[in-house]
């Protein structure tokens, strides 16, 4: 049975300031919770109407479907909700291929990008502080557990990118990514959904890439940033000069 303190904690973790102060976040759904349970993330509490999670011992609280709906962020509550500790990220390995995000605001986009990093074997994702929190519930949900295999850091991008080469940026005008021989090492910068890469970070980019439009009218203004990430990462992995 849920206590008032448990309900209060869960509701508070919907807000970034409490996730930061408590160093905890929420995961919902059988698949996603399972991914985190099988990772190095430390479980705090797990709530479910299914006794199969009883192996979690004192961390497990059996609840009714009605109680679960009170704490769920879903319209129709799934059968499990868990709280995990937020770990300290590892240092960034700048000797590999690193993806950097400049003020990506949409939780769904960030979650998809984290999953893309996992899919394409990008170990390090670096975000500036104005990028949406990676432990936002919607980000966690859309990443489908890929947090456990991608090292995510929030850093001052304008400082850390100084002197790092090659530094690729995605722009409407640039060299077609399909025509380039691409390295296995470097930094790829993706920008904000509405404004692209900011001026300060653009000044640090030394290779400008674009994804050409093929439609007959070529009137589409831009690609969704997560779609762009999929194309760019695919090309880096497919067309690398260092196999």
Enter the pTM of the model. 0.94
Given this model, what pLDDT does residue 168 score?
A: 98
Burial environment of residue 97 by CB neighbours within 10 A (0 to 12, 13 to 18, 19 or more) = buried
Please give the Cα distance from 110 to 134 (Å, whole number).
7
Given this model, what pLDDT does residue 242 score?
A: 52
Domains, the chain, with CATH or none: 4-85 (3.30.1330.30), 97-238 (3.40.1280.10)
DSSP notation for 103-142: S---HHHHHHHHHHHHHHT--EEEE-TTSPPTTSHHHHHH
Q: What are phi and psi of 187, to 5 degrees?
A: -120, 135
Q: Which residue has the tokens 């479910």?
A: 48
Q: What is the pLDDT along the chain (243 residues), one digit of tens a residue?
A: 899 999 999 999 999 999 999 999 999 999 999 999 999 999 999 999 999 999 999 999 999 999 999 999 887 767 999 999 999 999 999 999 999 999 999 999 999 999 999 999 999 999 999 999 999 999 999 999 999 999 999 999 999 999 999 999 999 899 999 999 999 999 999 999 999 999 999 999 999 999 998 877 766 777 999 999 999 999 999 876 454
Please, which residues have CB within 8 angstroms of residue 133's CB and are 6 or more apart in sequence?
16, 19, 139
DSSP notation for 15-84: SHHHHHHHTEEEEESHHHHHHHHTSSPPEEEEEESSGGGGGGGGGEEE--HHHHHHH-SSSS--SEEEEE
Please give the Cα distance from 235 to 134 (Å, whole number).
25
Given this model, what pLDDT does residue 222 score?
A: 78
């Amino acid at each position: 049975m849920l206590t008032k303190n448990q309900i209060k904690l869960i509701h508070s973790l919907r807000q970034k300031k409490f996730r930061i102060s408590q160093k905890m976040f929420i995961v919902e759904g059988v698949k996603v919770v399972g991914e985190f349970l099988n990772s190095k993330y430390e479980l705090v509490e797990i709530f479910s109407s299914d006794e199969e999670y009883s192996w979690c011992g004192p961390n497990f609280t059996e609840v009714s479907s009605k109680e679960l709906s009170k704490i769920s962020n879903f319209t129709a509550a799934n059968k499990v909700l868990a709280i995990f500790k937020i770990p300290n990220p590892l240092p960034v390995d700048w000797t590999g291929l690193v993806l950097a995000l400049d003020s990506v605001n949409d939780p769904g986009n960030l979650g998809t990008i984290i999953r893309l990093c996992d899919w394409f074997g990008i170990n390090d994702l670096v975000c500036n502080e104005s990028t949406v929190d990676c432990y936002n519930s919607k980000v966690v949900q859309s990443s489908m557990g890929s947090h456990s295999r991608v090292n995510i850091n929030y850093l001052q991008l304008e400082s850390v990118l100084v002197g790092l080469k090659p530094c690729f940026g995605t722009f409407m005008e640039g060299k077609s990514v399909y025509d380039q021989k691409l390295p296995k090492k470097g930094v790829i910068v993706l920008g904000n959904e509405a404004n692209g890469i900011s001026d300060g970070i653009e000044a640090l980019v030394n290779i400008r890439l674009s994804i050409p439009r093929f439609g007959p009218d070529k009137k589409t203004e831009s690609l969704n940033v997560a779609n762009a990430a999929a194309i760019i990462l695919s090309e880096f992995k497919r067309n690398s000069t260092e196999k």
